[in-house]
Chain A
Amino acid sequence: MERPDHQQREIKLKLHDVHKSYNNLHALRPTSLEVRTGEFVTLLGPSGSGKTTLLSIIAGINFPDGGMVEIGGVDATYLPSRKRDIGVVFQNYALFPHLSVFENIAFPLRMRGMAATEIDIKVRRVLETVNLATVGDRLPSELSGGQQQRVAFGRCVVYEPSIILMDEPLGALDKRLRDSMQEEIKRLHRQLGTTIVYITHDQTEALTLSDRICLMNQGAIVQSGAPRAMYFAPESRFAADFFGIANIFAYRQTDTDGTVEIADLQVTGKPGRDVAANGQMMVRPQCFAFADGPDDRPSVPGRIASLEQYGLYSQYGVILPSGKAVTVQRLTDSASSSWAVGD
């Protein structure tokens, strides 16, 4: 499916230099961010990186020490949550335990004083959308984790807020359920075209769902971009490591036309983008190939020091002639069994 071109759309959410400290601890350093209508932006980072602080400032659960929050072109910095036209899906869903699924979803509409008949129509439509039409009169505690998650999402979309904020919404689910819920969220995002700001510490989830990822660390956004760019072109060691195993090599510019040499791999070439004269570059483990025989690609001899079978792929620890250790992954197939420790 073709992704909508967000660059053409209006800016829905604009953060300008918002920051927040608790007892002299910078929970969030001055941060700016723009999110366009319909965009799916993920705030990704380890715990304590400031992503939840940022989300709570956007939601109006917390207020920044300084800076500005604009929602739909209106200054909302110190507006209470209920006046912001936002929706939040909480990590543990925060479903009202004494209200039925139907009443949970109807809640925001009742708060807005909508007529009963209209509420009925809207809630039923949302129940259909999130595949919960048959459990409307159950209590939240009578539902499975995945169903509860969908109620939380339904409660959010029913009043069509201009932005939906999701705080690790899949964190409480097991892996299998998480995968299917990711599909569901993607489908709902496409279907409803809502603007979503999503929080997670799971890089796979971020890569799967997002139009754009903002990687956060120590209270600041360290890099933001499309998932593919984030994965293959990290701008820092932290970013490289966060998205998976990274083999880092030092390189040196050898020619004025931009040719660089990586001593460990004994290769020279031109990088695909402009880089500093000297520095480090990264190769993902699955981008190495084993030289099974004569190959036209440059190859480098190495010794396999360790081998772990992960099912779908196998992971090798390889020692290069320079003494550098690298990690290499390849799909597990019949051919791979011929490689063993010591080769």
Chain B
Amino acid sequence: MARSPIFSTAAAGNLLVLPTIGFLLVFMIWPIGQMLSLAFLDSASNFTFNNIGAALFSPTVLRTSTTTLSIALISAVLCTLIAYPIALYLSRRTGRVFALLMIMVLIPFWISVLVRTIAWFLVFGQNGVINGTLTSLGLTGEAWQMLYTRGAVITGIVHAIAPISVLTILGAMQNVDPRLAAASASLGASPARHFWLVYFPLTKSGVAASFILAFVLSLGIFVQPTLLGSPRETMIAQVIIQQIDELFNWNMAAAIAIVFLVLALLIVVIADRVFGISLAGRPTRQAGARRGRLHALQQAASRRMLMLLATLTGPFFGSGAPAPPGKARARFNATAILAIIGLVWLAAPALFLIPVSVTDSNFLEWPPRGFSLRWYEAYFTSSIWIDATLRSIIVGLVTASVSIVLGIPAAMALSRGEVSAKPIVMGLVLLSLAIPNILLALAMFYVFSTLGLVGTDLGLVIGQTVFAVPYVIVAMVAAFGNYNWQLNTAAGTLGAGGLRTFWIITMPIVRVGVASSFVFAFIRSFEELSVAMFISSGLSTTLPKRIWSEAHFNISPTLAAVSTVLIIGVTTIVLSVEFFTRRAKATTQKGMSHG
């Protein structure tokens, strides 16, 4: 009898996800565990609750926690409000228009948060875009104080997170059957009623996901409050950084982190209960549960409220009747107007940096004075800037390669569904996307310092790969979503081995997905600040860290020049990825039309 196969397919699948699991366990879970355990140790490494107690009752922690939570809540609400019409508008477009609008969301998404914060600094500044414009029009005598306010911080945060909200809500909208609109109309619902009673409830899961995601992401933010806020806007991440950077008190930093994480988690859980929204975006109501009078009342109340909303907003939706012949149907409705304002708001701030980068003035001011390339000269002739740029590029390329090598086999196994370890991988991926980057970076800093990895490029690559691998996995699972795995079976029957099939069948078919995963892993690493702040040492910094140090000290036109280089670089990359993806799609579609 022939020998039976050594590995079942499930075992082979687990083998493919093993490297990723191992990598994330060692470089993500272990550091987090180490750091959190510090919270329960005193300076002599004895077990104690004193740190937690001190963190709980510290007035500073209490004040910054309150600030952080209120800023995060307001930001999450605003993000969702701004993102919904944009997503709605996008979900109704197809083809070229959709692609164009999508690019308008994606470019701000991929432009470094640092660059975008510097842009808002320019917009809000004493001599910034708004004040400068108002003054030059002679509308105001004295400058309007916008910088170093809570409004500026929240604007910066919302601007940073809104693209993610758009993508989240859009995902939910694309699952709604477009024929429902026609069904509603045939059953007698006006467009407004269709929207509030049918469409909105169906996209509620996306709204909930967007809200919670935006809230969680806002919690860990430190760039915007540092550059755009005053001490009154100090957020919890800054306090934690301060504990380590200035006070070298790891135990206290860890304790604050724990207290804060628990608080944040509590709020998410309460929000989930109160609003009946679900994290995972699936319907919360289980069969049989929540029946009865109370639930019926709740339903009736919510239906009445939605009906009321429909009546109130009716004029914005129109009658739904076809336009009379000869008269073109109105091209712009409320959604379109809100969406276009939102998209312009997403794109505009960064654009102001471009003219300022060629100013002849020594300050960041609006309108720019004269024309000079000296800020670009300052950048390109400075060995510090160029070294940092080159290091970022090299570290980015290596990070992207490692992430691809780890992520593709894992994504393959996950999308073939032959892995029993799937929940572990998905858990790790979600954790790395949800945990505040700064906490993870600090945890890695703590562990890497004992391993001698701090200040090395290897340490940087490892740290940034932890952030990039989940992106690659998510993107590649999506790319494999349309892949027909029977091709691999077919190749097997035709005489090809597993590895050969991978290289000549699987890879060529998903190559566009691989390329875009690689590019985005690269950008993610290239712009990464948290890891770079702690892991790279003074002399060998990356570009974002260099910008961060400089911005801390003085936001000069040099930063506008560097930012412009980054904006142009990222825009070029996003556009070329889009171009190649479209071309690949066009080839298949051209084929399909013949078939």
B2–A75 touching, CB < 8 Å: yes
Q: Is B325 interfacial (CB-CB < 8 Å)?
A: no
The proximity string for A residues 123-158 relative to B, scoring 1 for CB distances below 8 Å and 0 otherwise, is 000000000000000011111110010000001000
Of listed B484, B490, B508, B591, residue having the most chain A CB within 10 A: B490
Report A323 CB to chain B, min CB distance, Å. Answer: 47
Q: From the candidates A97, A107, A155, name the one contacting B588 in the complex (CB within 8 A).
A: A97
Total A-B pairs, Cβ < 8 A: 86
Report A218 CB to chain B, min CB distance, Å. Answer: 25
In Å, the complex CA distance between A107 and B4 comes to 28
A63–B486 touching, CB < 8 Å: no
Q: Is B493 interfacial (CB-CB < 8 Å)?
A: yes
In Å, the complex CA distance between A145 and B592 comes to 11
A108–B495 touching, CB < 8 Å: yes
Q: Which residues of B contact A78 (CB under 8 A)?
A: 1-5
Q: Which residues of A contact B595 (CB under 8 A)?
A: 141-145, 148
B493–A61 touching, CB < 8 Å: yes
Task: List CB contacts (< 8 Å) of A74-115 with chain B.
Answer: 75-82, 84, 86-88, 90, 92, 94, 96-98, 107-108, 111-112
Given contacts A78-B5, A139-B591, A141-B595, contact A98 B492 (CB under 8 A): no
B493–A112 touching, CB < 8 Å: no
Q: Is A239 interfacial (CB-CB < 8 Å)?
A: no
In Å, the complex CA distance between A327 and B487 comes to 46
Report B482 CB to chain A, min CB distance, Å. Answer: 10
Given contacts A96-B505, A141-B591, A141-B595, contact A111 B3 (CB under 8 A): no
Q: Is B494 interfacial (CB-CB < 8 Å)?
A: yes
In Å, the complex CA distance between A96 and B488 comes to 9
Q: From the candidates B1, B484, B500, B591, name the one contacting A75 in the complex (CB within 8 A).
A: B1
Given contacts A94-B486, A96-B487, contact A79 B495 (CB under 8 A): no
Given contacts A94-B484, A97-B509, contact A59 B493 (CB under 8 A): yes
Q: Which residues of A contact B492 (CB under 8 A)?
A: 60-61, 80-82
Q: Is A196 interfacial (CB-CB < 8 Å)?
A: no
A142–B493 touching, CB < 8 Å: no
In Å, the complex CA distance between A148 and B591 comes to 13
In Å, the complex CA distance between A140 and B595 comes to 9
B2–A107 touching, CB < 8 Å: no
In Å, the complex CA distance between A79 and B495 comes to 12
Report B494 CB to chain A, min CB distance, Å. Answer: 4
Q: Which residues of A contact B509 (CB under 8 A)?
A: 96-98
Q: Is B309 interfacial (CB-CB < 8 Å)?
A: no
Report B580 CB to chain A, min CB distance, Å. Answer: 15
User: For residue A111, which residue of chain B has the nearest CB?
Assistant: B495
Given contacts A61-B489, A143-B595, contact A77 B2 (CB under 8 A): yes
User: For residue B595, which residue of chain A has the nearest CB?
Assistant: A141
Q: Which residues of B contact A79 (CB under 8 A)?
A: 2
B1–A111 touching, CB < 8 Å: no
Q: Is B538 interfacial (CB-CB < 8 Å)?
A: no
Given contacts A68-B1, A141-B588, contact A86 B493 (CB under 8 A): yes
User: For residue A62, which residue of chain B has the nearest CB?
Assistant: B9
Q: Which residues of A contact B505 (CB under 8 A)?
A: 96
A90–B490 touching, CB < 8 Å: yes
The proximity string for B residues 22-58 relative to A, scoring 1 for CB distances below 8 Å and 0 otherwise, is 0000000000000000000000000000000000000
Given contacts A87-B493, A96-B505, A98-B508, contact A111 B5 (CB under 8 A): no
Q: Is A159 interfacial (CB-CB < 8 Å)?
A: yes
Report B416 CB to chain A, min CB distance, Å. Answer: 14
Q: Is B566 interfacial (CB-CB < 8 Å)?
A: no
User: For residue A148, which residue of chain B has the nearest CB?
Assistant: B595
In Å, the complex CA distance between A140 and B594 comes to 10
A76–B494 touching, CB < 8 Å: no
Q: Is B151 interfacial (CB-CB < 8 Å)?
A: no
Given contacts A108-B494, A141-B588, A155-B494, contact A90 B2 (CB under 8 A): no
In Å, the complex CA distance between A210 and B366 comes to 84
In Å, the complex CA distance between A192 and B5 comes to 34
Task: List CB contacts (< 8 Å) of B581-595 with chain A.
Answer: 588, 591-592, 594-595
Q: Which residues of A contact B500 (CB under 8 A)?
A: 111
Given contacts A75-B1, A78-B4, A111-B495, contact A142 B594 (CB under 8 A): yes
Report B139 CB to chain A, min CB distance, Å. Answer: 61
Q: Is B569 interfacial (CB-CB < 8 Å)?
A: no
Of listed A78, A82, A90, residue having the most chain B CB within 10 A: A82
In Å, the complex CA distance between A155 and B490 comes to 10
Q: From the candidates A68, A77, A82, name the one contacting B493 in the complex (CB within 8 A).
A: A82
A82–B497 touching, CB < 8 Å: yes
Given contacts A77-B1, A142-B594, contact A111 B496 (CB under 8 A): yes
User: For residue B484, which residue of chain A has the nearest CB?
Assistant: A94
In Å, the complex CA distance between A112 and B592 comes to 31
Q: Which residues of A contact B5 (CB under 8 A)?
A: 63, 78, 80
Q: Which residues of A contact B508 (CB under 8 A)?
A: 98
In Å, the complex CA distance between A276 and B492 comes to 49
In Å, the complex CA distance between A213 and B4 comes to 31
Q: Which residues of A contact B491 (CB under 8 A)?
A: 96, 107
User: For residue A77, which residue of chain B has the nearest CB?
Assistant: B2
User: For residue B509, which residue of chain A has the nearest CB?
Assistant: A98
A82–B1 touching, CB < 8 Å: no
User: For residue A92, which residue of chain B has the nearest CB?
Assistant: B486
Report B524 CB to chain A, min CB distance, Å. Answer: 28
Task: List CB contacts (< 8 Å) of B459-513 with chain A.
Answer: 484, 486-487, 489-497, 500, 505, 508-509
Q: Which residues of B contact A94 (CB under 8 A)?
A: 484, 486-487, 489-490
Q: Which residues of A contact B588 (CB under 8 A)?
A: 97, 141
User: For residue B490, which residue of chain A has the nearest CB?
Assistant: A94
A141–B489 touching, CB < 8 Å: no
In Å, the complex CA distance between A312 and B3 comes to 56
B1–A88 touching, CB < 8 Å: no
In Å, the complex CA distance between A80 and B493 comes to 8
In Å, the complex CA distance between A28 and B292 comes to 47
Report B587 CB to chain A, min CB distance, Å. Answer: 8
In Å, the complex CA distance between A87 and B591 comes to 27
Q: Which residues of B contact A141 (CB under 8 A)?
A: 588, 591-592, 594-595
Report B510 CB to chain A, min CB distance, Å. Answer: 10
User: For residue A144, which residue of chain B has the nearest CB?
Assistant: B595
Q: Which residues of B contact A159 (CB under 8 A)?
A: 494-495
Q: Which residues of B contact A112 (CB under 8 A)?
A: 495
Q: Which residues of B contact A140 (CB under 8 A)?
A: 591
Report A248 CB to chain B, min CB distance, Å. Answer: 41
In Å, the complex CA distance between A230 and B31 comes to 70
B2–A76 touching, CB < 8 Å: yes
Report B102 CB to chain A, min CB distance, Å. Answer: 25
Of listed A61, A75, A141, residue having the most chain B CB within 10 A: A141
In Å, the complex CA distance between A108 and B492 comes to 9
In Å, the complex CA distance between A97 and B585 comes to 12
User: For residue B492, which residue of chain A has the nearest CB?
Assistant: A81
Q: From the candidates B3, B484, B497, B594, name the one contacting A143 in the complex (CB within 8 A).
A: B594
Q: Which residues of B contact A60 (CB under 8 A)?
A: 492-493
In Å, the complex CA distance between A60 and B494 comes to 12
In Å, the complex CA distance between A111 and B504 comes to 11
Of listed B3, B491, B508, B592, residue having the most chain A CB within 10 A: B491
In Å, the complex CA distance between A96 and B490 comes to 9
In Å, the complex CA distance between A61 and B588 comes to 28
In Å, the complex CA distance between A224 and B494 comes to 29
Q: From the candidates B4, B486, B487, B496, name the one contacting A82 in the complex (CB within 8 A).
A: B496
A90–B496 touching, CB < 8 Å: no
Report B136 CB to chain A, min CB distance, Å. Answer: 58
Given contacts A78-B5, A141-B592, contact A90 B494 (CB under 8 A): no
Instruction: For the complex of A and B, list the 3 residue pairs with the smallest distance between their C-beta atoms, beginning with the closest.
Output: A141-B591, A111-B495, A94-B490
| A–B complex contacts, Cβ < 8 Å, 5 sampled | A68-B1, A94-B484, A142-B594, A142-B595, A159-B494
Hey, which bits of chain A sit against chain B, CB under 8 A?
59-61, 63, 68, 75-82, 84, 86-88, 90, 92, 94, 96-98, 107-108, 111-112, 139-145, 148, 155, 159
Hey, which bits of chain B sit against chain A, CB under 8 A?
1-5, 484, 486-487, 489-497, 500, 505, 508-509, 588, 591-592, 594-595
